Structure 1
Amino acid sequence: MLTFNANDPSGAGGLSADITAMSSASCHVLAVATGCYVRDTRTIHQHVALDDELIDDQARCVLEDITPLAIKVGFVGNADNLATVAGLLSDYAHIPVVCYLPDLTWLDEVERENYLDALAELVLPQTSVLVGNHHTLSRWLLPDWSDDRGPNAREIAAAAAEHGVPFTLATGFNTPDQHLESHLASPETLLASARFERFEATFSGAGDTLSAVLCALLASETDLQAACAEALGYLDQCLAAGFQPGMGHAVPNRLFWALDEDAPPDNEADPDDSTPPAQQLEGFPTPSRTH
């Protein structure tokens, strides 16, 4: 698995999400850093993009050694970096590509427009599946939409298809009974749908998590419809087990499957455990609490 994304020091999204989600699907992750967020769990304060030549060097060095089975394109920073990524994708045109579009309203307007123009022109024609929240995708792909009714999944997919994308996974459709729906669509048909209860918490990193595990499942040659259903189910469990590590938004627990629900509390010994207590090394600092 090859992924292009920015480092997120909060652990909510970016490469942190890609690595943990893809690893959960038993994939070895080739993580190419495209930049670095200056952010916490509440908001993005800044993003610094890496030089496009450095991104190219990272990717080509590892690609000369390892051939990936699928590629994810997350947020890569600027138009120059998108051009570099597009050049790499063209050299591996037989490999499926999942492109995720995050919310970019925090970005300077001119930079955002330049980025989206380059994404549409250079990367979407090489994209197998475009993933994003339906509001984000609609604002970008259908800027002149004037109907009071928002565009549905097929209409968003049709707009994406004009740029060469065969399939679109649009998330976050509201329903009257407080559920959220996600739809995999082509311009011609709705291929798969999933419906989950809405969580009260606001999450950071959900979209990166979904697109990463979808890409990992495609790498294992899972059928696209089945991969979408499994990826959406995985995300739902990540959110159900999510937690709030700081003072901002909640974060998906992408390693929920590793939790031992039968483990005794920290202050309660297991009577069947014959392991002798660990000895504290003199002078070695130990944490006063666990996370």
Structure 2
Amino acid sequence: MKKFKYTSVLTIAGSDSGGGAGIQADLKTFAALGCYGTSAITAITVQNTLGVTAIHSIPPEIVAGQITAVMDDIKPLAIKIGMIHSAELALAIATTLKNYPHIPVVLDPVMVATSGDQLIEHDTIGLLKKELFPLATLLTPNLDETALLTGKRVNNVTDMQNAAAELLKKGCKAVLIKGGHLQGDTLYNFYLDQNADQELFSSVAVQSRNTHGTGCTLSSAIAAFLARGNSLKNAIIQAQHYIHQAIEQGAQVVTGQGHGPVNHFFNPQIAIQYELE
């Protein structure tokens, strides 16, 4: 009798008690895109649609243990990294992931929440660039995170292009700078990789208050499409299409009093399986 395995993905990120971002958004995205989600929780946040009021970091050895337990048993085909609150966590994650060099890694350097709350200790940024950037297949910062990483404000597409080139020097294989915070009717994301392949993606802005977790959702969608066997560029294109629809389909839904989540399950896909050899 033939046996099959689900297409699995690992998220290494913080827990959002409000359910709109972090681990919760990642697992919803994986499921919506037909993948089996696994997780290593880096922090527990006290959070709702109005903001973040407290953060409790998980001990580094426990985070490393979660990653190893999942990687050695379930063997995910792609990894998404989100919130890393401390330098100790960044080092533990980097050290652990070096044991799995052939698995694509989407690094979303979660530093600032939609509410404006900073989610990372200042001394973590340097270690993040030194230890984790070289392991990243793709880096996906938003404009605020790009500014923190480069030390320069990002106000337009030209700034995005310059910042992407600077970030590539830190060792990641490719960068997708998310320009959702730029004002205007058109949204831009800029892609650049080590082969000098670049592309400016554009989409019509959706007027919605429900944008909590959009960055988490986009990066986890890219990881899911990579796990499904897509090239990096195709994974980005499909993930951007998915997040645009998720925002559009969730725009009129009221969840909480602040920035609500996108609609992850506007078109859920059947779990994707592949045959074991």
Normalised by the length of structure 1, the TM-score is: 0.81
Q: Is the Cα contact below 8 Å between 2:17 and 2:45 reproduced in 1?
A: yes
Unaligned runs of 5+ in 2: 1-8, 270-277
Q: Is the Cα contact below 8 Å between 1:41 and 1:248 reproduced in 2?
A: yes
Instruction: State how far apart, in whole Å, the 1-side matches of 2:180 and 2:221 are.
Output: 20
**Mapping 1:186-265, distance limit 5 Å:** 186=193, 188-191=196-199, 193-201=201-209, 203-242=211-250, 243-258=253-268
SS in structure 2 opposite 1:6?
A: strand
1:100-148: per-residue Cα shift (whole Å, max 9, x none)?
022436348xx632111111011001101001213321x1232156x97
SS in structure 1 opposite 2:133?
A: helix
Q: Is the Cα contact below 8 Å between 1:56 and 1:85 reproduced in 2?
A: yes
The answer for the alignment partner of 1:87 in structure 2 is: 95
The verdict on how the C-alpha distance between 1:118 and 1:174 changes in structure 2, with shifts beyond 3 A counting, is: closer
Unaligned runs of 5+ in 1: 260-291
Instruction: State how far apart, in whole Å, the 2-side matches of 1:62 and 1:176 are.
Output: 41
The answer for the alignment partner of 2:140 in structure 1 is: 131
The verdict on how the C-alpha distance between 1:149 and 1:77 changes in structure 2, with shifts beyond 3 A counting, is: closer
The verdict on how the C-alpha distance between 1:126 and 1:255 changes in structure 2, with shifts beyond 3 A counting, is: same
The 4+ residue runs of structure 1 with deviation greater than 6 A are none
SS in structure 2 opposite 1:46?
A: strand
Aligned length: 255
1:222-245: per-residue Cα shift (whole Å, max 9, x none)?
021111111001001110111331
Task: Name the Cα RMSD after superposition.
Answer: 2.3
Instruction: State how far apart, in whole Å, the 2-side matches of 1:43 and 1:175 are.
Output: 21
SS in structure 1 opposite 2:256?
A: coil
Q: Is the Cα contact below 8 Å between 1:153 and 1:190 reproduced in 2?
A: no
SS in structure 2 opposite 1:182?
A: strand
Instruction: State how far apart, in whole Å, the 1-side matches of 2:204 and 2:189 are.
Output: 9
The verdict on how the C-alpha distance between 1:223 and 1:149 changes in structure 2, with shifts beyond 3 A counting, is: closer
Instruction: State how far apart, in whole Å, the 2-side matches of 1:16 and 1:176 are.
Output: 28
SS in structure 2 opposite 1:112?
A: coil
1:50 equivalenced with 2:58 (yes/no)? yes
| Greater relative CO (CA pairs within 8 A, separation 6+) | 2
Q: Is the Cα contact below 8 Å between 2:85 and 2:121 reproduced in 1?
A: no
Q: Is the Cα contact below 8 Å between 1:174 and 1:181 reproduced in 2?
A: no
The answer for the alignment partner of 1:288 in structure 2 is: none
Instruction: State how far apart, in whole Å, the 2-side matches of 1:53 and 1:98 are.
Output: 22
What amino acid is aligned across from residue 225 of structure 1 in structure 2? K
SS in structure 2 opposite 1:72?
A: strand
Deviation larger for 212-221 or 57-66: 57-66
Instruction: State how far apart, in whole Å, the 1-side matches of 2:72 and 2:203 are.
Output: 41
**Mapping 1:56-75, distance limit 5 Å:** 56-75=64-83
Q: Is the Cα contact below 8 Å between 1:55 and 1:81 reproduced in 2?
A: yes
1:21 equivalenced with 2:29 (yes/no)? yes
1:3 equivalenced with 2:11 (yes/no)? yes
**Mapping 1:262-273, distance limit 5 Å:** none
Q: Is the Cα contact below 8 Å between 1:18 and 1:212 reproduced in 2?
A: yes
Normalised by the length of structure 2, the TM-score is: 0.84
1:48-99: per-residue Cα shift (whole Å, max 9, x none)?
1000111112221222212111111100221111111101111111111000
The percent of aligned pairs where both chains have the same amino acid is 24
Instruction: State how far apart, in whole Å, the 1-side matches of 2:218 and 2:96 are.
Output: 23
Deviation at 1:17, TM superposition (A): 0.5
The answer for the alignment partner of 1:35 in structure 2 is: 43
1:193-212: per-residue Cα shift (whole Å, max 9, x none)?
13222424252100000000
